[in-house]
Amino acid sequence: MFSGSMVAIVTPFKNGEIDEKGLEDLIEFQINNGTKGIVPCGTTGESATLTHDEHKLVVELTVKKVDKRVPVIAGTGSNSTKEAIEFTQHASEAGADGALLITPYYNKPTQEGLYQHFKNISQNVDIPIVLYNVPSRTGVNMLPETVVRLSGFDNITAIKEASGSMQQVTDIIRFCGDSITLFSGEDYLTYPILAVGGKGVISVVSNIAPGEMSRMCDAFFEGEIKEACNLYYKLIPLCHAMFYETNPAPVKTALGLMGKISDEIRLPLCPMSVENIERLRVVLKEFGLI
């Protein structure tokens, strides 16, 4: 149902409020440059510091602006199962095509707790679910064995895998087969993940270079392996630059330097250091983005 390069889109702010026009412009920029899906309210969208009303507003605005041109996969995860169900039900009612659900953070559930969390959500919603495993953010790693168990639920269709472990990636693909579609959650691993059976990426870098990331995935699936590999190595400096400091500070700074939106982020994240902004500026210039 989902494939190719999808963007984990930022949430633009202006004077502390959601910049609705900025978000609409970014969505248009993405679709015009070949992005295959829009993912609002994820980590890159600063979901942790959005109020419930803001979260729902961003999902609604995204669905309306996209207007079925590409899939919308709304971030609806929480460390509260009840809250995750509420957000996911809202995304379904708003017209989203899928929901991205991060593993519960801070609680540090066991593998059985993770299974019960996602089982409960699955049984209370009818929208396709994309699991999201990112241990560096959450403090818990969902093991392949747990993903296999969850793949038995009809509406758990995919996983964004951001553990950074190719062994984990290959185990999920090997054990789940066609029952789970795997997407890269680490831009710098996208090409290797495609090579072992992944079906795309939910990308940070696509916020600033959507055409190149989309073309890399398309070229790979079209059998143009050399072109895909060349694009991958072209993108690598951007992949690393987006994590000079905590995401999404670098990508918002980059979008600000490109004149797309304000670089405003919410505390406890703060503006990048002058030194890292200059490092970022060099990479953006070399790529031709500024």
pLDDT digits (tens, 9 = 90+) for 28-56: 999 999 999 999 999 999 999 999 999 99
Q: What is the mean pLDDT of residues 257-269?
A: 97
pLDDT at 1: 77
Question: Is residue 5 a contact partner of residue 239, using CB atoms and an 8 Å limit?
Answer: no
- pLDDT value at 116 more than 80: yes
pLDDT digits (tens, 9 = 90+) for 227-254: 999 999 999 999 999 999 999 999 999 9
Calculate mean pLDDT across residues 127-132: 98
Who's near 156: CB < 8 A, 6+ residues apart? 118, 122, 129, 131, 150, 180
Strands (E), the chain: 4-8, 13-14, 17-18, 37-39, 73-75, 98-102, 129-133, 156-161, 181-184, 200-203
Is 270 domain-assigned? no
What are the start-end ranges of the E strands in 116-196?
Answer: 129-133, 156-161, 181-184
Examine residue 255 and state whether it is found in any structural domain, yes or no. Answer: no
Cα dihedral angle (38, 222, 128, 87), rounded to 10 degrees? -20
Average pLDDT of the residues in 192-217: 98
CATH number at residue 156: 3.20.20.70
Q: What is the pTM of this model?
A: 0.96
The stretch 60-81 carries a mean pLDDT of 98
- Predicted confidence at residue 28, as pLDDT, reads 98
Residue 122 to residue 101: CA distance in whole angstroms:
11
Whether residue 150 is contained in a domain is answered as: yes
Residue 252 lies in a domain: no
**Which residue is catalytic, options 56, 65, 160, 252?**
160
Is residue 284 situated within a structural domain? no
160 assigned to active site? yes
Per the domain annotation, does 173 fall within a domain? yes
Parent domain of 109: 4-224
Q: How many domains does the chain have?
A: 1
Query: Does some domain include residue 233?
Result: no
Write the DSSP symbol of residue 14. Answer: E
Q: Are 43 and 247 in contact (CB under 8 A)?
A: yes
Q: What average pLDDT does this structure show over 195-216? A: 98
Asked if residue 175 is part of any domain, the answer here is yes
Select from 175, 73, 189, 92 the least CA-distant residue to 131. 73
Q: Please confirm, yes or no, whether 188 is among the known catalytic residues.
A: no
Catalytic residue among 132, 191, 232, 244: 132
As a whole number of angstroms, the distance between CA 143 and CA 176 comes to 12
